[in-house]
């Protein structure tokens, strides 16, 4: 029995490590994404954001987490206790499980070699709406139910769009397996966003709607339903929902980065003379480490000093791993390369280097989410549904057909792929504009019929 367990751990230790890391680290990362969002929001709103807790507010997520954990656990009187407990757990489970299918680097994947790859991620994250609708129901509160139903309707509507957009990427990659998709982008010498840009942007919009972010955040809008389905949740339960939302953001960012932005490949991976780009992460990390060391002495509180030193240490370690291995590549001396420490560093490098670029792309994706949140007002619910069903789904469908035509042109007629891509993209955009024009006409007619049934007889002259 013990032999079996040991053998199991030996063959699967990487996956187990990744799984443990996901469950432990993702909540922390989600907390820091919240901090980044607050800082970016503040920057766009001409103010500073959290500054007090930690140097420039860097310890704010820890303070928030502690506060949430020590809060009183309130359950409304008439709430359905089992479902009230179950709903955020389901949300969080769906979000974290779907992370198991993502590859954060060539080695960081829990579900390695799974045949269905990205479809697993998309499918399991389809369990998310359950947590929402059950949570709204269990709160036994008007606003919660309305918010929950709206949110679920929005989510299942935009899942179709997201799926179609992803299908156009799958057509180009030819496979569902995550590592094969990235390899395909390597062998094709291009990131698929350049071959199917409409697919990428449709996926971007659909993923904003999938994660309930602005401008599609009506279910969470503070100004209307207080907080929608999350109204009655507080403390740790609320933090589960919250973390599930940010984990979902990471998941959709990761799917978009894998399928469209080249996964863990650096920009222009096949171009040899751009090899110096490999050195940029090392430089960046080293500079960050040096900056942290310089600022560490100037912190007012001891824990902040320790924090800065810890960050600097991590930066230097990773920079060291990258630096030594790249130096070894540069010198390309076999003797140096075959030494045991270098081999060890080499394996760590293999794991981490790809992860750096991948996380950079996911961060860029999430930054776009934040940027849109603070710039655009919110869609009204019927406008949101109209956008999803009347514009985006037809557009995504046409895009799939267009990508198919492009592939057919390339393979059977031997067209240059850029020409084919340009043609099909233009065709899809034309269809998109026609759809928007048609929709505007109908939307104007629909909203014009709103205020026409003033059938009540009221005495406007009274008083």
Residues that bind another protein in the complex, under the rule CB under 8 A: 4, 8, 41, 44-47, 80, 82-83, 86, 114-116, 119-120, 122-124, 126-127, 129-130, 133-134, 137, 142, 145-146, 149, 152, 156, 159, 176, 214-215, 217-218, 221-224, 226, 373-383, 443-444, 447-448, 450-454, 456, 458, 460-461, 463
Question: Smallest distance from the beta carbon of 222 to another protein, in angstroms?
Answer: 5
Q: Nearest approach, Cβ of 357 to another protein (angstroms)? A: 28
Taking the least distance from each CB to another protein, the nearer of 47 and 340 is: 47
Q: Cβ of residue 145: shortest distance to another protein, in angstroms?
A: 7
Do residues 210 and 385 lie in contact, with contact meaning Cβ atoms separated by under 8 Å? no
- 254 vs 384, which CB is nearer to another protein? 384
Shortest distance, CB of residue 451 to another protein, whole angstroms? Answer: 5
CB 31 within 8 A of CB 62: yes
CA distances from 86 to 68, 136, 326 (A): 19, 12, 49
Give the shortest CB-6-to-another protein separation in angstroms: 12
- Shortest distance (Å) from residue 57 CB to another protein: 17
For the chain, give the secondary structure using H, E and C.
CHHHHHHHHHHHHHHHHHHHHHHHHHHHHHHHHHHHHHHHHHHHCCCCCCCCCCHHHCCHHHHHHHHHHCCCCCCCCCCCHHHHHHHHHHHHHHHHHHHCCCCCCCCCCCCCCCCCHHHHHHHHHCCHHHHHHHHHHHCCCHHHHHHHHHHHHHHHHHHHHHHHHHHHHHHHHCCCCHHHHHHHHHHCCCCHHHHCHHHHHHHHHHHHHHCCCCCCCHHHCHHHHCCHHHCCCCCHHHHHHHHHHHHHHHHHHHHHHHHHCCCCCCCCCCCHHHHHHHHHHHHHHHHHHHHHHHHHCCCCCHHHHHHHHHHHHHHHHHHHHHHHHHHHHHHCCHHHHHCHHHHHHHHHHHHHHHHHHHHHHHHHHHHHHHHHHHHCCCCCHHHHHHHHHHHHHHHHHHHHHHHHHHHHHHHHCCCCHHHHHHHHHHHHHHHHHHHHHHHHHHHHHHHHCHHHCCCCCCCCCCC
Please identify, using beta-carbon distances, which residue of 9 and 310 lies nearer to another protein: 9
Q: Which is nearer to another protein, 300 or 448 (CB)?
A: 448
Measured from the CB atom, is 301 or 376 closer to another protein? 376
Radius of gyration of the chain from Cα atoms? 25
Shortest spacing between CB 116 and another protein, in angstroms = 5
Of 363 and 439, CB closest to another protein: 439
Task: Kindly tell me which of 124 and 209 has the beta carbon lying closer to another protein.
Answer: 124
> In terms of CB distance, is 8 or 327 closer to another protein?
8
Comparing CB distances to another protein, the nearer of 95 and 421 is 95
Q: How far is the CB of 215 from another protein (least distance, A)?
A: 6
Q: Is the CB of 201 or the CB of 415 nearer to another protein? A: 201
Compute the distance between CA of residue 150 and CA of residue 157 in angstroms, rounded to an integer. Answer: 11
Q: What's the number of CA atoms in the CB half-sphere (13 Å) around residue 442?
A: 12
Q: How far is the CB of 462 from another protein (least distance, A)?
A: 10
Q: Based on CB atoms, which residue is closest to another protein, 62 or 127?
A: 127
Whole-number minimum distance, CB 186 to another protein, in Å? Answer: 22
Least distance between another protein and beta carbon 41 (Å): 7
Q: Say how far apart CA 263 and CA 358 lie, in whole Å.
A: 6
């Amino acid at each position: 029995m013990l032999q079996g367990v040991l053998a199991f751990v030996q063959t699967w230790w990487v996956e187990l490590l990744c799984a443990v890391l996901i469950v432990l680290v993702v909540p922390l990362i989600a907390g820091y994404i919240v901090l980044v969002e607050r800082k970016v929001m503040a920057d766009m709103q001409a103010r500073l954001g959290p500054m007090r807790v930690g140097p420039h507010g860097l310890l704010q997520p820890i303070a928030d987490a502690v506060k949430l954990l020590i809060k009183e656990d309130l359950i409304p009187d008439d709430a359905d206790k089992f479902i009230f407990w179950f709903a955020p757990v389901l949300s969080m489970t769906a979000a974290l499980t779907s992370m198991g299918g993502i590859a954060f680097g060539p080695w960081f994947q829990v579900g390695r070699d799974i045949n269905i790859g990205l479809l697993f991620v998309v499918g399991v994250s389809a369990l998310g709406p359950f947590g929402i609708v059950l949570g709204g129901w269990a709160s036994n509160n008007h606003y919660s139910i309305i918010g929950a139903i709206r949110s679920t309707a929005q989510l299942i509507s935009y899942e179709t769009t997201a799926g179609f957009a992803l299908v156009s990427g799958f057509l180009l990659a030819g496979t569902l397996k995550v590592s094969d998709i990235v390899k395909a982008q390597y062998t094709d010498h291009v990131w698929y966003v350049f071959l199917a840009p409409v697919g990428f942007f449709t996926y971007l919009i659909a993923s904003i709607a999938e994660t309930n972010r602005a401008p599609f955040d009506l279910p969470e809008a503070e100004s209307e339903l207080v907080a929608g389905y999350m109204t009655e949740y507080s403390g740790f339960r609320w933090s589960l929902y919250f973390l599930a939302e940010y984990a979902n953001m990471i998941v959709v960012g990761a799917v978009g980065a894998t399928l469209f932005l080249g996964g863990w490949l650096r920009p222009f991976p096949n171009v040899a003379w751009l090899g110096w780009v490999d050195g940029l992460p090392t430089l960046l990390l080293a500079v960050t480490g040096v900056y942290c060391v310089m600022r560490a002495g100037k912190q007012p509180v001891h824990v902040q000093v320790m924090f800065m030193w810890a960050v600097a240490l991590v930066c230097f370690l990773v920079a060291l791993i990258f630096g030594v291995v790249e130096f070894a590549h540069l010198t390309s001396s076999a003797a140096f390369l075959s030494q045991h420490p270098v081999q060890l560093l080499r394996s760590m490098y293999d794991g981490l280097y790809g992860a750096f670029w991948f996380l950079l792309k996911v961060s860029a994706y999430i930054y776009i989410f934040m940027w849109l949140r603070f710039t655009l007002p919110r869609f009204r619910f019927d406008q949101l549904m109209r956008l999803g069903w009347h514009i985006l789904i037809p557009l995504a469908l046409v895009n799939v057909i267009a990508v198919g035509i492009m592939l057919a042109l390339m393979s059977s007629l031997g067209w240059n792929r850029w020409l084919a891509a340009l043609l099909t993209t233009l065709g899809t955009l034309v269809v998109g504009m026609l759809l928007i024009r048609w929709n505007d006409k109908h939307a104007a007619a629909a909203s014009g019929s709103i205020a026409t049934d003033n059938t009540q007889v009221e005495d406007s002259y009274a008083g």
